[in-house]
Structure 1
Amino acid sequence: MEGKLKVREVHDFLNRIWEDIFTLNEEIKEELPQLGFKVEDVEEVFGAYIFLDGEWGQMSYPHPAFEIKPQIEVGATPESYYLVVAVPKEKVSENFVGLFLEIFPRSFIYGSENFLNDFYNWRRDGRVSPTEVLKKLKESDEKVFQFEANFGSVKALKQGVKRLIDLGKRFEIFDI
């Protein structure tokens, strides 16, 4: 079974991302409730998708994640640390899209219903104008969009959560 796969490296990597998300969860639980957010416990998330080698593939294994209610998920996959915020179509604006892509250059935007059909994909699309992205979103039948940002470290993820909350409050996307 071992072959080219280094089991110790996989084991250490998985332990690290789980420990990072547990630690982040505890830190955020102390900081966010006074801002009106409820931070849930870390859970095993099954059935997620990951963008590898130019396509979305289902992860049959669990990854660590937790919710920041009302609309945010924070977690880690083998590809990156991430956050996802659900934004109702009526609250999506060109300025929100533009600032989200500027603040979070490693991002994806996809629908809640047809989530494998992304409207923006940083690995594929590079720099496109917020106007182009907004046009795709407005023409879509989706009612809620998922704005996902990827990070290379848990420290960057924590900063990203804070920046997302500031951005979301500015554009009134949160139901709090």
Structure 2
Amino acid sequence: MNLLEVHNHLNKIWGEIFRMNEELKEKLLPMGFKVEPVEEVFNAYIYLEGEWREMIYPHPAFEIKPQGEVGATIQSFYFVFGIPKEKITKEFTFEFLKMFPRSYIYGSENFLEDIYNHDNPKSPDEVYRLIKESQEEILQFEVEEKEASEIEEKLFDFIRLAKEYNVLEI
């Protein structure tokens, strides 16, 4: 393990999250969102080498109210929004999967069982069927990218899509 590489990578992800937090406060307020300060998130999970693994160590993230979070793990930058199941349509699901191939869909209660995982993709029809059959009331739609600039761009694409299908509480 190269400690300098680990140090530099952690500085990169924390620095980018602090930068994005400041920029998004300004950009998202007129759209009806409130951006909370960066926090240390503990006891999250990361998908590595084909399985979800607990992260006992903290990673940086901030809430986008209502319903969202932006953060970074050692693997990627991400955003995730919790959407009530009754608001999720087939059309929204299909568009989400088409627009965001590096994504996950999972429940808020049983979050270690993926409905959709980009490492093991399912057809949009299968994903929508699993959403409708799920006992979950809230489903998490998560998108990840390697770079902060990419996730920021995708966040605005997601917000446009979410507004079009009226899945957010704004």
What is the CA-CA distance between 1:109 and the residue it aligns to?
Answer: 0.4
Find the residue that maps to 1:49 and give its secondary structure. Answer: strand
Q: State the distance in 2 between where 1:66 and 1:104 align.
A: 21
- Matched residues, number: 170
TM-score relative to the length of structure 1:
0.95
> For residues 128-143 of structure 1, what are the structure 2 equivalents within 5 Å?
128-143=122-137
2: CA distance between counterparts of 1:90 and 1:129? 21
SS of corresponding position for 1:13: helix
Query: CA contact under 8 A between 1:98 and 1:129: conserved in structure 2?
Result: no
Q: In the aligned structure 2, how far is the partner of 1:88 from the partner of 1:96?
A: 13
SS at match of 2:136: coil
Q: Output one character per residue of 1:32-51: Cα deviation in whole Å (capped at 9) or x when no partner.
A: 11111000011000011000
Taking the TM superposition and a 5 Å limit, the aligned residue runs for 1:82-93 are: 82-93=78-89
Shift of 1:111: 0.2
CA shift, 1:129, in A, is: 2.4
1:79 Cα deviation from its structure 2 partner: 1.1
Q: Which of 131, 154, 162 in structure 1 is aligned with 2:156?
A: 162
Other structure's SS at 2:17 match: helix
Structure 1: gaps (5+ residues) = none
Partner Cα distance (1:26, 1:86) in 2: 22
Unaligned stretches of 5+ residues in structure 2:
none
| C-alpha RMSD of the superposition | 0.7
Residue 39 of structure 1 corresponds to 35
Deviation at 1:174, TM superposition (A): 1.0
Counterpart Cα distance in 1 of 2:43 and 2:154: 24
CA distance in 1, matches of 2:131, 2:152: 27
In the aligned structure 1, how far is the partner of 2:66 from the partner of 2:16? 22
Q: Distance in 2 between matches of 1:50 and 1:93?
A: 27
- SS at the partner of 2:119? helix
CA distance in 1, matches of 2:57, 2:47: 15
Q: How does 1:20-31 map to 2 (within 5 A)?
A: 20-31=16-27
Residue among 138, 145, 148 paired with 2:142: 148
- Secondary structure of 1:150's counterpart equals strand
Identical pairs, percent: 52
Does the residue aligned with 1:131 lie in a helix, a strand or coil? helix
Moved over 2 A (4+): none
